[in-house]
Structure 1
Amino acid sequence: MTYKINVKNIQGNILTGFSKDFQSFMFLKFTDTVEAKRWLKDITPEVATVEELQAFKDLFKLTKKRRGTELGTVQATWMNLAFTHSGLQALDVSQHELDSFPEAFKAGMKARANEIGDVGTSAPENWIEPLGSKDIHALLIFASDSPIELRKYIMRHATILESYPSIKIEFLEDGMDRADQPGHEHFGFKDGISQPGIRNFTQPANPENPDQGIPGQDLLHAGEFVLGYPSQIPEADPEHDGPNPNPGENSHSGPIWTVDGSYLVFRRLRQDVPAFRKFVEHTAEKLGISKDLMGAKIVGRYASGAPLESSDAQSRDAAMLPQQDPGLRCPFLLDDKNINNFEFGEDEEGKIVPRASHIRKTYPRDQGGEESRTQTHRMLRRGIQFGSSYRPQIEGFYPHGADTEYPQDRGLLFLSYQSDIERQFEFVQQSWVNNPDFPEKGDGQDPIIAQSPAGEFKMPLPTQGGCPVHTLSIKHFVTTTGGEYFFQPSIHALCILAG
């Protein structure tokens, strides 16, 4: 089915992604509705659209291809805008329209802590203030290729806000790609690899399957991520290999003006890098395998991004898995045609990729023949790192930490876009990540991002050749330090909200 996506009306970070090395997140509070509406009317023309971002990316690729380098290519600075439910209330949205929004969005992330597993050290009472507070009304997302240009743009908007004294900056968080390991999160693994493709937007690039972007990347209907478009059908089509390609009903949520908008989940996740490294080293030594392979068993990929499932010709034999990261000596494994071109159906027992490994917990693919249903829980992730990279030689001295009270404060600013917070983000957290009995009873929780009231949980590690299953005791390496649910309206809706 062919349908047109209104790329001129959808905010750019949703479908295209900013993909900038430097980003900042400005959280605002409104105390006067009239001023807030005037401010919104003032800045709406600057909100970047999908059309603008896509045109920039096409020009960037063309310039880079001709020159053979990124040096001297085009640069840009972007801004997007989202609101909490209390922010929409502060903009004087009618009570009838406010009531029509879904429960998760109305409640906010703090109130949904038990549903998504934010307990113990990750409980809202331990979050950095004012994250999770009803005083957070809006989020400005800034992104740029240049830290200097980003600062200039932020200062420009700070100056604009001086003309609106009733609008307060409650919190400002900087994110940046790691200069020492570009594209890698703080544990050292390549991040943001497996993203769903979008029908009628992502170009099919697999000559063997027109229903995929790059090989292994299924094209999903736009309504899974943006309101007002066809959505996925959870039931499989017996005549089709892969998720059901037929269009479901158009996604809808809240007032009629939410069309072309998307729900944004923001989470500030602190990573305990020293503890993770020590655990990997200790466990690898105990099991008699390399640190590279041990880390890959936990995550589901080697640090380079090379998939554990299809890392080399012998990957079907768990005994032959490479001890050293194969992506370092075989760069072709990291090519678009290889890096996501695998499934888990041929490894149902988890001997190659443990069923509790991070990438399998968050995206089980064709596990159990449920691929069509699995694809109804996908999200578009737009995360970026915060804080300084961990350097053991200067441990205890990090002058550029994200929070001076926590000199080793580093981690991931997790952002995801979806059309249904409960069916997508919350389902993944509750039914997959934190569920010790998914996909099979006793499989354990996600060893990277799961939370457990006991503070420690078990992860079975199947072995080959009839050897006994190892059970790993894993402590928390990731802690939630704040977050919120937002709605990111269309350009047209921003005009409506501005009156």
Structure 2
Amino acid sequence: MSNQRPLDLYDIQGNICKGYGRFGFPKARYFFLDFHQPQLAQEFLKKLIPRITTAERWGNSNHPDDNQKPDTTTNIAFTYAGLAALQLPQRSLDGFPMEFRMGMQARKSILGDDGASAPQHWDPVWQGESVHAWVSINAKNTEQLEQAYQQIELLISESQNGVSIRPGHKGPNGTTLPYQNASAVFENGKATAKEHFGFTDGIGNPFFAGSGNDVSRLPGRGKLTRDGKWQPLATGEFILGHVDEAKEYPLAPEPKLLSRNGTYMVYRKLHENVKTFNDYVDNIASDFNGSKELLMAKFAGRWPDNGAPLVLAPDDQAKAELDKKLAELKAQAEQGDDCAAAQLKALREKWIDFNYEDDKAGGKCPIGAHVRRTNTRGSLETQPDAFNSKGALVDRRRLLRRGLPYGGEDQVSDDHSEQGIIFMCLGASIERQFEFVQQQWVNYSNDFKLGNDKDVFLGNHSGKLTDKAIIQAEPGSNEAPFLCTHLPRFVETRGGDYFFIPSITALEMIAQGIVDPA
């Protein structure tokens, strides 16, 4: 990977390499377009392209100064139906993977979108024919967000009815909006990494070669090697036109310039049943040997308040000691103690830089915990030296997570109010990455030797006795495993689709109508 040519970050859309929330853009608006006349839609795209945010570095990639960043970011992606509406050649359209061509609704049985999550219950925007394009705006504040949205609205109005915004997003207090707002959860006027169940979220996005991120972010985010070190994941796991972990180029349509430096995006509006979750935890915690917070941590694999992994603090006593240590080091560091500052930094790195080598039985972090399911960190290698690398079974399943929480603005907050997460993930293969994780690791557990048990949060539970989760006991202890049964559905799908995020070069080709697979 060290010999790889640098990526052209100016050709790659910015949301592929940047999680905007981490860079100080806690407000977002997502809206969807319909194309009614190809030539007029192409003219609209020509006007929009100069506004598209690229992946170019903003000074120091970890802590860029505000004057190095734009006030807002804008990105665009297309469904298969949208590319067809723009009259891409059929040969190019046929080159896209089957799951992308089918779209999310047609894959509902694979994704577990049944019952309350079935497509017929999704927001009105997803009913009828497929949307054609997704546009996102991220901003530092609401005023900047609104201003950028109005500017794009003006471009749409100038398209002479060639483009329109598809309305139909359920908003707060029974409203229906033409867009989906999203925002970091604010506490005391400051943006946090929390979501509406109360967990710190968005920890540990993958690190891939050429992303432009600082190398200090690599440990815990890359791929785990045989000697326990971390290396960047192959670029082709996340960006088309580059070699992936199999030393191959991901499946992509022709011509190469159409797909190169682009990727696929999964967009899902996930509604959180906050009251159901809180009631269930309160009820089960009364029988659990530990605090309510520990029980929640066992579900997630991380403590809800600060995201500390259970392998670092597996019980209430260890968490109290960790919190005390953090507070002491922080106080000393604020007084100018450089040694304490270094120790604090090293301790916080353990939030990411860890594995399950010393917790194979799940006594600290349950084997079925959410973070352990979705990033197994080499723990699926149950036989010594079974694969070329410890993480061979997860390196090809990693997901770049994007998006923000939404809602929480209703006058009354319960299961019927609007709150949840706008989940977006990026990868070079929707089927191999997102769909595999959703089907095999979220809604099934055979790889973890847990049979049909599902992810506590995302599983399509129905409240039956067999809808359960096992919290393993520490080997050698007198404790018995703790069973959580009759799990209800805590998260419901409210809409979504599969999108293609083209490069700037490909956007120009689409806008000019010069895509030629020959």
Q: Would the TM-score normalized by the shorter structure come out above 0.5?
A: yes
1:339 aligns to what SS in structure 2?
A: coil
Q: Aligned to 1:431, which of 440, 443, 452?
A: 440
The Cα shift of 1:120 comes to 1.1
Q: Offset at 1:182?
A: 1.1
Could you report, residue by residue, the CA deviation over 1:51-109 in whole angstroms, capped at 9, with x for unpaired residues?
1xx22664x82548xxxxxxx99662010000000000000011111111101000000
Q: Find the partner of 2:422 among 413, 430, 438.
A: 413
- In structure 2, how many angstroms separate the alpha carbons of the residues matched to 1:455 and 1:281? 18
1:25–1:142 Cα contact (<8 Å) kept: yes
Rounded to whole Å, the distance in 1 between the matches of 2:321 and 2:425 is 29
1:379 paired residue among 396, 399, 404: 399
Shift of 1:342: 1.2
Does the alignment pair 1:179 with 2:195? Answer: no
Give the alignment of 1:359-370 within 5 angstroms: 359-369=371-381
What's 2:264 paired with? 263
Displacement of 1:323 after TM fit?
A: 6.1
Shift of 1:437: 2.5
Counterpart of 1:98 in structure 2: which amino acid? L
Instruction: Give the Cα separation in 2 of the matches to 1:94 and 1:300.
Output: 47
Are the aligned partners of 1:232 and 1:376 in contact in 2 as well (CA < 8 Å)? yes
Question: Could you say if the C-alpha distance between residues 210 and 151 of structure 1 is closer, same or farther in structure 2, counting changes exceeding 3 Å?
Answer: closer
Superposed displacement of residue 348, structure 1: 1.7
The answer for the alignment partner of 1:146 in structure 2 is 141
Q: Which amino acid aligns with 2:278?
A: R
Matched, 1:462 2:472: yes
Q: What's the counterpart of residue 26 of structure 1?
A: 31
Matches within 5 A, 1:4-403: 4-19=6-21, 20-51=25-56, 54-55=57-58, 58=61, 61=63, 63=65, 76-131=71-126, 133-164=128-159, 165-171=161-167, 172-180=179-187, 182-201=192-211, 202-205=213-216, 218-233=231-246, 248-255=247-254, 256=256, 257-303=258-304, 304-311=306-313, 315=314, 322=318, 326-327=322-323, 330=326, 332=344, 336-369=348-381, 371-388=391-408, 395=412
CA distance in 2, matches of 1:48, 1:206: 23
| CA displacement at 1:253 relative to structure 2 | 1.3
Tell me the alpha carbon deviations over residues 9-56 of structure 1, each in whole angstroms, 9 at most, x when there is no partner.
Answer: 0000001222220000010111111111111111111111001xx226
Alpha-carbon separation, structure 2, partners of 1:271 and 1:466: 36
Q: Distance in 2 between matches of 1:169 and 1:421?
A: 26
* Cα offset, 1:345, TM superposition: 2.7
Shift of 1:204: 2.4
Does the Cα contact within 8 Å between 2:397 and 2:437 map onto a contact in 1?
yes
Aligned equivalents of 2:44 and 2:358: distance in 1? 55
* Contact preservation (8 Å) 1:38, 1:498: yes
Indicate conservation of the 8 Å contact 2:468/2:484, yes or no. yes
Higher mean C-alpha displacement, 438-447 vs 410-419? 438-447
Instruction: Give TM-score, length-normalised by structure 1.
Output: 0.85
SS at match of 2:283: helix
Q: Cα distance 1:251–1:272, how it changes in 2: closer, same or farther (>3 A)?
A: same
> Structure 1 residues 108 and 377, CA, compared in 2 at 3 Å: closer, same or farther?
same
Distance in structure 2 (CA, Å) of the matches to 1:363 and 1:63: 32
TM-score by length of 2: 0.82
| Alpha-carbon distance, 1:336 to partner | 4.7
Flag the 1:57–1:383 CA change in 2: closer, same or farther, 3 A: farther
Which one-letter code corresponds to 1:478 in the other structure? V
Letter in 1 for 2:111: I
Query: Does 148-157 or 333-342 show the bigger shift?
Result: 333-342
Give the unaligned 5+ runs of structure 1: 65-71, 234-247, 398-405
Distance 1:407 1:472 in 2: 25
Please report how far the alpha carbon of residue 428 of structure 1 lies from its aligned counterpart in structure 2 after TM superposition: 0.3
* Residues 372-428 of structure 1 deviation map (CA, whole Å, 9 limit, x = unaligned): 2211100110120000168xxx7459xxxxxxxx86110000011100000000000
Residues 62 and 123 of structure 1, relative CA distance in 2, 3 Å threshold: closer
2:108 alignment partner, SS class: helix
CA contact (8 A) 1:227 1:260 kept: yes
Q: 1:252 offset after TM fit, Å? A: 3.6
Letter in 2 for 1:414: F
What is the identity, as a one-letter code, of the residue corresponding to 2:433?
Answer: Q
- Whether contact under 8 Å (2:461, 2:488) holds in the other structure is no
The count of aligned residue pairs is: 457
Give the direction of change, closer, same or farther, for the CA distance of 1:443–1:349 in structure 2 (3 Å limit). Answer: farther
RMSD of Structure 2 on Structure 1 (CA): 2.8
Q: Tell me the CA shift for residue 217 of structure 1.
A: 6.2
Q: Determine if contact 2:218/2:230 at 8 Å carries over to the other structure.
A: no
What is the Cα deviation at residue 329 of structure 1? Answer: 6.1
Match of 2:470, SS state, is: strand
SS in 1 for 2:270: strand
Deviation at 1:150, TM superposition (A): 0.7
Aligned match of 2:386? none
Q: State, as a whole percentage, how many aligned pairs show the same letter.
A: 28
Distance 1:298 1:86 in 2: 38
Q: 1:242 aligns to what?
A: none
CA distance in 2 between partners of 1:200 and 1:73 (Å)? 21
